[in-house]
Amino acid sequence: MSPNQLLLSYALRYPSWIVFTIILGFSSALFNGVGITLIVPLVLGFLGQDNINLEGGPPIIQKALSLFNGDRGGNHLALMMLAVILAIVLKNIANYVNLLTSSLLSRKLVNDIRKAGIQLLLEVDLDYYAKIKVGEIINRIGGEVGRAAGAIRIAIQVFTTSVTILVFIGILISISWKLTIASTALLLLVTLLNQYFVRRAKGFGKVLSEKSGAYSTALLEILTGIRLIKAVGNEKVEYQRIERLIDERERADYQSQANFAAIGPINEVAGILAILAIVYLGKTLFLQEIESLSTVLLIYLAVLFRLLPVVSQLNTQRSGFANSAPSTAIVADFLQRNDKPFMANGQSLYTKIEQGIRLEDVSFAYPGHENLVLNEVNLWVPKGTTLALVGASGAGKSTLADLMPRFYDPIKGRITLDGKDLREYDIRSLRQAMGIVSQDTFLFNTSVRNNIAYGREDVTEDEIVEAAKRANAYEFIVQLPQGFDTEIGDRGVMLSGGQRQRMAIARALLRNPDILILDEATSALDTVSERLVQQAIDELCRDRTTIVIAHRLSTIQKANQIAVMDKGRVVELGTHEELLKKGGYYTRLYWMQFDRNADGVTNAAVNDVLVQTSYEIRTRLNPMIGFLGLVVDDLVESSEERQELTEEAYQSAIRLLKNLEVLEENIKSA
């Protein structure tokens, strides 16, 4: 969608308003022309020239001046004066109503564009937000939309002004087509002179949009990162950065205003020169008839003199429109839907989980990236059970959890719920059946009550209190200054991390979800807070289908099954006890967090792990020695095979080194 198409598409939503604006613009121009045409004969009449020679004058002027011919007394002059006053009053009324109409139309268009932008932001996929800065979004939906609406308002004004000019030109042609041709040529020269300023205005408008976007982005970063800025004492650096952006933005704005302000004086000087040229041409063209046509020429000059400011106004409006054009282009690009990711919606409404969730050969890579974050993952989560995902950072745990509520879709394989692909479900009904509690809990800058009840409309006070009690949050809530009505600040800044987590759990309990996703909900808490939150989580998980992501293995020992992930794959699967007996990756992770004799890890289990580790080392060392022996003894037939054996030996050495590091770490901690 081009900027002009954007303006047209939104303007055409209100055809009656546009037609009304056109009628008002034409009426204003017509009344203005009538008033200017009649005012010269009226002045001459008051000066005593009751009999004016009309020879050679156009019929429309002759008819107007005939009101002054003959000895008719002052009544006709009074009527003429009333006619002039009435024309000017009607012109100004039409202008006033036109201004209100265009302003209301502009506001309606601004509202429509902003609503369309907000709707787009709510519907677009999360991947869009990963590629754009929030400050840019705020600048576009705020400042740029306002400036684009200004362009729409100016476009309406340009149309009205153009109608006025056409009416005046029609009057001038009726008086003298020769002078009008000359006048048009002179006014075209003035317009061409203004074209230079119009081009500059467009350039300044583009720079202003860029600087405004950079300023909005930087300001938002400072406000959201104020705790970090103060923690590292970087206030001076951030102030200098924002100061530079403010200066650059104001400089661009000043240049734009200076260019805009220059148009009026230049047009005035050019207009005076055009008037003098017309007077000279009029004297030259009508030299023989100058006395008889003096009144006609006076009327012509009066109309022309009134036309010149209108032409100047048109040039100013063109400059303003050019200045706003970059914003219109930005908004048009922002509202484009064909270049943004949208999640396809299914038709089946989710009702209730009956069997469970299955992942079938699920692979995933983030849009625009080739590396697989998940690689052929297969899992089965029966109804009412808990699946825990563990592994190192970057193993793909959070990504897998993001696929459940369809924040993203797999690029290969599928996720089914009761045998039906998640993509077949209506997204809204599916997500409403899920509760998500993550490490980074988001709370709104509103009351405790509203935060707990968020997402529920038909909730009672008793239900909110009960959810808070079950989440171990009631005790601290009632101690707040206004209890459940306490405003908790931006992102819940007035609460501790544990309190925010319990608030999020209360919100999830109130939603009573069938499927629960816990993404490292206790990883950033102290021991006391973790214990309280874990108790709330245990209450939340009761009789629900739950997927838990955790770094602290103590929080998932009771899970029905634990999936150990590494580099996007499930490398081990089983219960806590089963995985410990295997002595594999999970056991090594467990050793890193606990003393080997603590929490039920028996000496026998430790010995089993040592034996298993020794076995793994020998298993990897033997083929590595064999590969290297083939290479050293030159028993390899081709360079490709030599390269392959060397690579295999290298990978075996890396795996061996990892096992030794884990073993060494556990020996030190013993």
Query: What's the token pair of residue 48?
Result: 């005593």
Structure confidence at residue 288 (pLDDT): 53
Indicate whether 67 and 143 sit together in one domain.
Answer: yes
The per-residue pLDDT for range 278-321, each reduced to its tens digit, is 777 766 665 555 444 566 677 777 777 777 777 777 777 777 77
The answer to whether residue 350 sits within a structural domain is no
Clarify whether residues 16 and 147 are in a common domain: yes
pLDDT average, residue stretch 257-275: 73
Answer yes or no: do 315 and 414 share one domain. no
Collapsing DSSP to helix, strand or coil, 383 comes out as coil
| Amino acid residing at 146 | G
Q: What are the tens digits of pLDDT across the range 626-658?
A: 667 666 666 666 666 667 767 777 777 776 676
pTM over 0.85? The answer is no
Could you read off the pLDDT of 164-204 as tens digits, one per residue?
A: 788 778 877 877 777 778 777 777 777 777 777 777 777 77
Q: Are residues 62 and 91 in the same domain?
A: yes
Residues 327 and 193 in one domain: yes
Output the domain CATH number for residue 488. 3.40.50.300
DSSP string across 312-335: HHHHHHHHHHHHHHHHHHHHHHHH
Sign, CA dihedral 485-487-492-493, equals negative
Residue 111 has pLDDT above 50, yes or no: yes
Burial call 618-649: b when 16+ CB within 10 Å, e when fewer: eebeeebeebbebbeeeebeeeeeeeebeeeb
- Residue 438: which domain range? 356-575
* pLDDT on residue 527: 58
- Give a yes or no: residue 225 inside a domain: no
DSSP 8-state symbol, 644: H
Q: Residue 271, SS3?
A: helix
60 and 186 in a single domain? The answer is yes
Is residue 244 situated within a structural domain? no
Q: Which residue has the higher pLDDT, 288 or 112?
A: 112
Q: 456 and 554 share a domain? A: yes
Give pLDDT tens digits for 49-82: 554 444 545 565 566 556 545 544 556 667 777 8
* 370 falls within a domain: yes
Tally the residues of the chain.
Answer: 670
Q: What is the rounded CA–CA span in Å between residue 596 and residue 578?
A: 16
pLDDT attached to residue 363: 93
**pLDDT confidence bin for 393, thresholds 50/70/90:** confident
Rounded CA separation 300/174 (Å): 10
Which of 302, 335, 368 is the C-terminal boundary of a domain? 335
Task: Tell me which residue of 205, 299, 298 sits closest to 252, measured CA to CA.
Answer: 205
Residue 619 counted as domain residue: yes
499 and 614 housed in the same domain:
no
The average confidence (pLDDT) of the chain is 76
Residue 492 is predicted with a pLDDT of 72
**Would you say 573 and 564 are in contact if contact means Cβ atoms under 8 Å apart?**
yes
Segment holding 113, helix H or strand E? helix 74-123
Query: Residues 624, 538: one domain?
Result: no
Query: 479-517: per-residue pLDDT in tens?
Result: 888 888 888 877 677 787 778 888 888 888 888 888 888
CATH code of the domain containing 19: 1.20.1560.10
* Shared domain check, 658 and 525: no
Q: Tokens in use for 261? A: 């302000």
Q: Which tokens in the block code for residue 316?
A: 């100013």
- pLDDT band with cut points at 50, 70 and 90 for residue 220: confident
Provide the number of structural domains found in the chain.
3
Residue 185 lies in a domain: yes
Where among 335, 368, 386 does a domain terminate?
335
Q: Which of 335, 367, 386 is the last residue of a domain?
A: 335
Q: What is the DSSP letter of 350?
A: P
Q: Who contacts 297 (Cβ-Cβ below 8 Å, separation ≥6)?
A: 282, 286, 290
Does 670 score more than 50 pLDDT? no
Query: Do residue 401 and residue 498 come from a single domain?
Result: yes
Distance CA 49, CA 69 (A): 9
Q: Which residues contact 237 (CB under 8 A, 6 or more apart)?
A: none
Same-domain status, 542 and 635: no
Q: Which residue pairs from 401-406 have beta carbons closer than 8 angstroms and sit at least 24 positions apart in sequence?
A: 401/517, 401/519, 401/547, 401/549, 402/126, 403/362, 403/364, 403/374, 404/357, 404/434, 404/515, 404/517, 404/547, 405/430, 405/431, 405/434, 405/436, 405/517, 406/343, 406/430, 406/431
Answer yes or no: is 176 within a domain.
yes
Using the predicted structure, report yes or no on whether residue 378 has a pLDDT greater than 90: yes
347 lies in a domain?
no
